[in-house]
Structure 1
Amino acid sequence: MDRPKPNARKRLLANKLRRLREDAGLTQVEAGEPMRFNKNKMSRIELGHLPDYNGFLALLDRYGVIVSDYEEWVSQYDRAWEKGWWHAYGIDGRGYVSLEADADEVRTYQLGLIPGLLQTEAWMRAAFAGARDPLTGRRLENAVAVRLRRQTRLTDDPPLQLHAIIDESALRRPDLLPDEQCAQLEHIIDCAELPNVTVQVVPIYHGLHPGRDGSFTVLSYPRLAEPDIAYLEHGFGSLQFEKAKDVNAARLVFRHLADLAYDEPDSIRLIRQVIAET
């Protein structure tokens, strides 16, 4: 039976443990020997299946972490085992919400949808109702509540840094009433006025470009001193990329799309034009 995938916080802490071991010049076998952790157990630990508390402290000691620095490590360990606020809405800690909750910066490109952090409630409800697995009842209400709570990060202290690139086709969706469509576009303009939010639009006339392959997001964690993660959601699930070469590829595509897109003032002018045409 396969073990469930560890949540994002456990994986982030596991990556730090791996780097501690590498900095100490130890192999997995050498690192685990004093605790009688075999190579398989060490491998699982570094994938996010963290040991018990005493085993965790033993690893810190093995890697040369001084006792006066334990407090921060123990705080991260406790945090990794906590259930995030999203659990109350029936969402586990292994998906996008938990990744975003710990991020300081989000760079997202959306092909056919307005980014969730910029959606009005009416847009959310239309998007959830039109999904491959439409949400109704309590599931729908929970999904809306989670997305609305995520949006508070844009005005929290410290605020989440958001750079959103939107394909023009997402601005011209016929599945909302005209008033709702205009309200959504006005909401994007309002969000773009926040100092931590950048909005760009890729105009339709560019035709084929790398963004036509689909939407993706790059999440950054400078406060946690953790490497970026790339996230890709598709019609049948999602993928998370943590290897440097994959994340670098996502960053390169994002930069290319930012160069293709209108700058923010021209993007806002285009959005106002779409409002006038609606």
Structure 2
Amino acid sequence: MGGRSGSQVRRRVLARELRGLREAAGLTLDEAAATLDVAPSTLSRSESGQQQISVHVVKSMLDVYGADDRWDELLRLARASRQRGWWQAFGLGERTHLVGLETEATRVREFTPNYLPGLLQTADYARALFVAAGVWGSGASLENAVAVRMIRQERLVDADEPLHLDAIIDESALHRPIGGPAVHRAQLARLLVAAGLPTVTLQVLPLSVGAHPALASPLTLLSFGDLGEPDIAYVEHTLGAVTMDKTPDVERARVCFDRLRTEAAGLADSLALLRGALDRAG
């Protein structure tokens, strides 16, 4: 269920392709909008991936831009961009924006300062986080949020469409007993298992490092492989999240993550820190 079946990134890819075709046809945004009989603002939102584009409108664009050789390819992409993502069946709405991006990604680079990455959490650990944050309430919405998080993890062991995770965890997160002692121990044991997966690279940023470039927040970078979509940076904070796709912003995020990777302990030392935390947890 958790394979690459999303729509958000497909919409972005379609938007980029259509914008390129318009420009190749020598049409300005206003000229194309007038010919297509749509408002320039509407065409601009379509070309930036901010709204869905109907298959009918895509056909009109291909006619106007003289792109007959791309007809079948882009109509398939248009239909894929309008499909409901698997996560939408859980009724979690806009709060699952990261899930839509991650579903299409082939690689995730993530740093977490105060908790462990969602792709490596146990169900009990995730539930304790959600309850503390007060985002999902209780009952069905809470359990649906936990279920989505567990489904996301399936791609780490998917033989056909694997997701590769480079995770850097602040050492303090290894000692924070989220969910209580039993949940904490089970979570640390889960990390040890995950660290052995061929799709997971796990590093710990030791407390001895002191100040570092991501003290203020977690950081996620998503890459999309064969889709050709540029990397996207994603930052969660207490009141929500920010998605960044502008080249300078993404490059800053990439430099930040690379610095963290350099300052983090190596793989063997990271495992030693993790085993030490598990031993102390009892």
User: Is TM-score (shorter-chain normalized) higher than 0.5?
Assistant: yes
Aligned to 1:74: 75
Match of 2:197 among 191, 194, 197: 194
Shift of 1:12: 3.6
Aligned to 2:112: 110
- Corresponding letter in the other structure for 2:71: Y
Question: Mind listing any 5+ residue stretches in structure 1 that lack a counterpart?
Answer: 1-5
User: Counterparts of 1:78 and 1:243 in 2: how far apart (Å)?
Assistant: 26
Match of 2:103 among 101, 113, 135: 101
What are the Cα deviations for residues 58-116 of structure 1, in whole angstroms up to 9, with x where unaligned? 2123334333x322211211111111111111123671111111111111110111000
Aligned to 1:3: none
- Size of the aligned set, in residue pairs, is 272
- Pair 1:243-2:246 in alignment: yes
Does the Cα contact within 8 Å between 2:53 and 2:78 map onto a contact in 1? no
Does the Cα contact within 8 Å between 1:111 and 1:212 map onto a contact in 2? yes
Question: Mind listing any 5+ residue stretches in structure 2 that lack a counterpart?
Answer: 1-6
Shift of 1:265: 1.5
Name whichever of 6-15 and 176-185 sits farther off: 6-15
TM-score for the superposition, normalised by structure 2? 0.89
Does the Cα contact within 8 Å between 2:218 and 2:235 map onto a contact in 1? yes
Shift of 1:131: 0.9
Aligned to 1:125: 127
Matching of residues 149-228 of structure 1 within 5 Å: 149-156=151-158, 157-228=160-231
1:268–1:20 CA distance, 2 compared to 1 (3 A): farther
Does the Cα contact within 8 Å between 2:92 and 2:141 map onto a contact in 1? no
TM-score for the superposition, normalised by structure 1? 0.91
- Corresponding letter in the other structure for 2:19: R
Q: How much identity, in percent, do the aligned residues show?
A: 42
Q: For the aligned residues, what is the CA RMSD?
A: 1.9
Name whichever of 211-220 and 176-185 sits farther off: 176-185
User: Counterparts of 2:204 and 2:223 in 1: how far apart (Å)?
Assistant: 22
User: Counterparts of 2:272 and 2:25 in 1: how far apart (Å)?
Assistant: 54
User: Counterparts of 1:122 and 1:267 in 2: how far apart (Å)?
Assistant: 24
User: Counterparts of 1:16 and 1:105 in 2: how far apart (Å)?
Assistant: 22
- Pair 1:54-2:56 in alignment: yes
Does the Cα contact within 8 Å between 1:218 and 1:228 map onto a contact in 2? yes
Shift of 1:134: 5.7
Does the Cα contact within 8 Å between 1:50 and 1:56 map onto a contact in 2? no
User: Counterparts of 2:269 and 2:62 in 1: how far apart (Å)?
Assistant: 52
User: Counterparts of 2:47 and 2:189 in 1: how far apart (Å)?
Assistant: 45
Aligned to 1:18: 19
SS in 1 for 2:92: coil
Aligned to 1:268: 271
SS in 2 for 1:226: coil
Aligned to 2:149: 147
